Structure 1
Amino acid sequence: MNVKITQNADAELSIQRVFNAPRDLVLEMWTRKEHLDRWSCPDGMTIPVSEGDIRTGGWFRTCMRGNDGSEYWVSGTYHEVSPERIVFTHAWDEESGERGHETVVTIAFSDTEDGKTHMHFHQAFFTSTASRDGHAEGWKACFEKLDKLLSQTA
């Protein structure tokens, strides 16, 4: 049997970033609810509800609320939570209440020589380039908030 594996680069999102903080602090920002609630939504949004169990085999469900009152629910499961990587699924709730298309998010952390943290963020596979691009803008805004929070904490 022949197997052909292809990847559509338009269906993947990759962001690399260096944070001016040690890896253990960056990891804490990803794994503690009180920190996630402060940075993991774009500007103009809040997180009025978040619940879950942030560990390998755990889960999450979060509501992001816009200034206009609109709500966006997202949920997933954690496949790996370690000092080097976090891997989780990510799916938005549809208007019908059903869970939408699921992507997989992989975040790899490594130390830089000068004590900072390099983060490689990858999310795949999207159903459209518009979805990927929307997520790119959202995550970039979140990472700006994370960077600011880290600068106040470190």
Structure 2
Amino acid sequence: MSEAAHVTNETAGRVLTIKRLFNAPPAFVFDAFTDPKRMLQWLGPRDYPASYVEADLRVGGKWRACLDSAATGEKLWHGGVYQKIVPGRHLAFTFAWDQENGTAGLETLVDITFERQHDKTLMTFRQSIFDTSENCRCHGQGWNSAFDRLEELLAQD
């Protein structure tokens, strides 16, 4: 995890908050979260990169993605619904993993703010409320791995 990363757990370890400072303006970072072509380049941990992303970017619109394990071939489908969209500043959406029977699992809310700090962006990512602190911890590891990939992608721009 980079020095710019900070992770805290609240509510008995069931709320995940991650703060990252990205070396790019807020509009670029926001675009990386909302453009499916850009999301394919960073979404998912290093060992489970995204192979599919679709997004209907409007309040009430749905998003869907699949993470693929290169090692095992396992596919992890997940998706949700956009709740709030303020270009370059704020994004909120629901998040749920697909269960084996095709139904959605536990739904959490992801709320992300993008704050300009000179020519950089302070991203505050919050996902809540998880069913267990272990599930929260695992998501923190996965998201931080993905955000490391995002940081590398933004450095190329």
TM-score by length of 1: 0.90
Structure 1 runs of 4+ off > 3 angstroms?
Answer: none
Structure 2 gaps, min length 5? 1-9
Give the aligned residue type for 2:102. G
TM-superposed CA distance for 1:138, in Å, is 0.3
Aligned residue among 94, 98, 106 for 2:103: 98
Question: Which residue does 1:49 correspond to in 2?
Answer: 52
Structure 1 gaps, min length 5? 1-6
Give the aligned residue type for 1:105. V
Question: Which residue does 2:68 correspond to in 1?
Answer: 65
Larger C-alpha radius of gyration, 1 or 2?
A: 1
TM-superposed CA distance for 1:80, in Å, is 0.9
Aligned residue among 101, 107, 110 for 2:112: 107
RMSD: 1.2
Aligned residue among 72, 78, 92 for 1:74: 78
Task: State the Cα deviation string for residues 38-80 of structure 1 (Å, max 9, x = none).
Answer: 1011112232222231222211111111011101010100011
Partner Cα separation in structure 2 for residue 63 and residue 19 of structure 1: 25
Question: Which residue does 2:148 correspond to in 1?
Answer: 144
Question: Which residue does 2:6 correspond to in 1?
Answer: none
SS for the counterpart of 1:38 is coil
Give the aligned residue type for 1:39. W
CA contact (8 A) 2:108 2:127 kept: yes
SS for the counterpart of 2:58 is coil
Give the aligned residue type for 2:85. V
Give the aligned residue type for 2:139. H
Specify which structure has the higher proportion of helix: 1
TM-score by length of 2: 0.89
Partner Cα separation in structure 1 for residue 151 and residue 12 of structure 2: 27
Partner Cα separation in structure 2 for residue 50 and residue 70 of structure 1: 16
Partner Cα separation in structure 1 for residue 51 and residue 20 of structure 2: 27
Partner Cα separation in structure 2 for residue 52 and residue 25 of structure 1: 17
Give the aligned residue type for 1:88. F
Between 1:53-62 and 1:96-105, the stretch displaced more is 53-62
TM-superposed CA distance for 1:107, in Å, is 0.2
SS for the counterpart of 1:39 is coil
